[in-house]
Chains A and B, each alone.
Chain A
Amino acid sequence: MHGAAAPTLNRGHHKRRAGRTILPTIWFTIPALVVYLIIVIYPALSGAAYAFTDWSGVGEQLRFVGLENFRKVFTDAQSLAALRNAVALTIFIVFVQNGVGLVLALGVHSKIKSRNVLRTIFFAPAVVSPVVIAFLWKYLFDPRPEEGINAVLGFIGLDFLRQNWLGDPSIALWSIGIMIVWQLAGYSMVIFLAGLQGVPQELHEAASIDGAGGLRRFRSITLPLLAPAITICTLLSVIGGLKLFDQVFALTGGGPGYATETPSTVIYKEAFVYGNYGYSTAIALVLAVVVAAVALVQLKWLRGKEVEA
């Protein structure tokens, strides 16, 4: 590291004392690295190793069981349901949350007078704890006809749309999706807004003079320049969707049956309710591989579509 001084300094005028270098030493990064290795990397690696054992957390007894845990992950009805639910819910969130977020952003990014108030309103739920939000929606999803959303549907004459929102296995997962869209569409909106503010007005003006209509301008100018924002939004919702825990745990606990089980709720139950630590970490390893693979593929694919303004 010695002698690697920046070229901008005129060394002739300044004699450096022996042993002093212009570059910071590795000791600057050691404290952070140690904490990170102890809290994240070491437990994650040992988790990956425990996935091949029958560890139950009691004493030191554990046995290497090869791929047995993984065979169970891909044959057990509960974990299969969890993986299916996570994929379905993630796709729902990626499209609906970001779609609504984009519409809100386009609506707020205009000359309307209420834009600042609207932006505040739409974003506010994103700073509140998901568990707290879930208890609000637990009431809104009350199955009784005179409560929550069902009461509103009755009030506006749409009685036939009343549902057993969380009790009907074919609907419960989508109810959770609706709640997440309500909480996080404003988050997507904020990221899209930052992207829209980077779209030069001149491009719109030029295209408009050339006779391009609103829709055409949106498709040819706004959308391509929004690509970085789309990358961030979809990446965030994919990672968040696959790892989902808080909202499900507080709303349905994974039920009815396995209808809203997610990998994270199964990981929690297997470890902390049944003490199947080895099996629980096997599900976590599958989840980690899926999240990493999807995130990397998505990043590569979406990055290819980005253009410079």
Chain B
Amino acid sequence: MRTRYGLGSLLRELSMIVVAIIFLFPVYVLVSLSFKSAADINAGGLGLPQPVDTSNYPTAWESASIGAAFLNSLTITFGSILLLIVLGSLAAYYLARVSSNVSYGIYILFLVGIILPFQLALVPLYRMMYEAGLLGTYGSMIAFYTGLQLPFTVFLYTGFLRGVPREYGEAALVDGAGHMMSFVRVTFPMLRPITGTVIILNAVFIWNDFLTPLLYLSGSGKETLPVAIYAFVGQYTAEWGLVFASVILAAVPMLAVFLFLQRFVIKGFASGLKG
């Protein structure tokens, strides 16, 4: 029953394309309005921009400080993921290899963090950061994301490590390498597939997160992209051309990464969540 491309497939193809066009309509509106002048938008209608007005983009870039916000987002995302990989994989190495009550207890404690809504820790942690004088720093955000995403990261690494034969790392140990050396040289390189998933899922989450950076970074000059866009739109409400130019500028980096790495991204999202 290997189906060939027949009439059924053609109908299915056409109906899926119709669905895709409906689905893409908001994107068309987004792009076309971003190329319209304020006067053109006020005239109403959803037609193509005539003439094409590119002035929204430089204005949005300047006023929303997109460049600076991009670098802030990059710093925070990169720093958090680096710590998550190091701390998460090391912790998982112990949790996956040692079967004791202590190891199991720690693993369960990490799992609790996957379901626990962070809202419960939100206010006390904000006060802690405030009292430590850390609000408005990259460090506060990196510490926050590392702690918040460790449960999920440890969960992914532990699950994967349980499927990696332990003989390799042990052979290195026997040859006289220390545990750390054996982990770094032998075991960690074997974790590459799950490290890819860890990077992708955490990067998308951290890059797009909003509430905590809004609380910690507003007005500090270290705002991430979502916070910068939020502040910008607050000032320019109803100037849709400008708003949409800023929305596109904010969305493009993540979309570009997605398009280039889409096989890995989709695989990461589809597989990283199996519990």
Contact = CB atoms under 8 A, between A and B. Distances in A.
B183 interface: yes
- Residue of A35, A121, A147 with highest tally of chain B CB at under 10 A: A35
B16 A108 contact: yes
A31 B91 CA distance: 8
A38 B147 contact: yes
A67 interface: no
Given A39-B125, A127-B265, A284 B29 contact: no
Contacts of A32: 87-88, 90-91, 150, 154
Nearest to A290: B117
B3 to A, nearest CB: 6
A40 B29 contact: no
Interface string B143-170: 1101110110010000000000011001
Interface string B231-266: 001000000100110010011001101110010011
Interface string A99-135: 0000010011011111000111111101111111001
A50 B146 contact: no
Contact of A284 (B117, B244, B257): B117
B88 to A, nearest CB: 6
A113 to B, nearest CB: 6
A24 B92 CA distance: 10
Q: Per DSSP, are chain A's interface residues mostly helix, strand or loop, or mixed?
A: helix
B271 A194 contact: yes
Given A39-B143, A44-B120, A46-B124, A124 B1 contact: no
A6 B99 CA distance: 12
B62 interface: no
A36 B150 contact: yes
A14 interface: yes
Contacts of A299: 275
Nearest to A186: B23
A140 B229 contact: no
B243 A135 contact: yes
B98 interface: yes
Contacts of B259: 120
B247 A24 contact: no
A25 B44 CA distance: 67
A29 B146 CA distance: 14
Interface in B134-193: 143-144, 146-148, 150-151, 154, 166-167, 170, 173-174, 179, 183
B150 A24 contact: no
A295 B115 contact: yes
A41 B113 CA distance: 8
Given A32-B150, A104-B19, A111-B3, A271 B170 contact: no
B39 interface: no
Contacts of B113: 36, 40-41
Contacts of B266: 119, 123, 190
B270 A194 contact: yes
B171 to A, nearest CB: 8
Contact of A280 (B17, B90, B123, B144): B123
A135 B229 contact: yes
A130 B116 contact: no
A23 interface: yes
Interface in B200-247: 204, 207-208, 210-211, 215, 225-226, 229-230, 233, 240, 243-244, 247
A61 interface: no
A236 B275 CA distance: 12
24 contacts: A1-B100, A6-B167, A26-B102, A29-B94, A31-B90, A35-B150, A40-B151, A41-B113, A44-B121, A47-B120, A47-B122, A57-B123, A111-B3, A113-B13, A123-B262, A128-B251, A128-B254, A201-B1, A232-B273, A245-B210, A264-B211, A267-B123, A268-B211, A288-B120
Interface of B: 1, 3-5, 9, 12-13, 15-17, 19-20, 23-26, 29-30, 33, 44-46, 83, 87-88, 90-91, 93-95, 97-98, 100, 102-103, 106, 109-110, 113, 115-128, 143-144, 146-148, 150-151, 154, 166-167, 170, 173-174, 179, 183, 204, 207-208, 210-211, 215, 225-226, 229-230, 233, 240, 243-244, 247, 250-251, 254-255, 257-259, 262, 265-266, 269-271, 273-275
